[in-house]
A and B are shown apart, each in its own frame.
Chain A
Amino acid sequence: LAKTTQPISMDSYEGQEVNITCSHNNIATNDYITWYQQFPSQGPRFIIQGYKTKVTNEVASLFIPADRKSSTLSLPRVSLSDTAVYYCLVGGDSSGNTGKLIFGQGTTLQVKP
Chain B
Amino acid sequence: EPEVTQTPSHQVTQMGQEVILRCVPISNHLYFYWYRQILGQKVEFLVSFYNNEISEKSEIFDDQFSVERPDGSNFTLKIRSTKLEDSAMYFCASSEPVRSPTTDTQYFGPGTRLTVL
Contacts and interface: CB of A to CB of B under 8 A. Distances in A.
B111 interface: yes
A97 B101 contact: yes
B43 A38 contact: yes
A92 B102 contact: yes
A105 B73 CA distance: 32
Given A49-B103, A93-B100, A99 B95 contact: yes
Contact of A43 (B58, B95, B99, B110): B110
- Chain A binding surface, main DSSP class: loop
Contacts of B65: none
A106 B95 CA distance: 22
Interface string B78-117: 0000000000010101010001111111111111010000
Interface residues of A, number: 25
A55 interface: no
Interface residues of B, number: 31
Contacts of A46: 105-107
A80 interface: no
Interface string A28-45: 000010100010011111
B111 A43 contact: yes
A44 B95 CA distance: 13
A7 interface: no
A22 to B, nearest CB: 15
Contacts of B113: 41
A105 B42 CA distance: 6
Contacts of A34: 103, 105
Given A43-B108, A92-B103, 9 more contacts: A34-B105, A42-B108, A43-B111, A44-B91, A93-B100, A97-B100, A98-B48, A99-B100, A101-B35
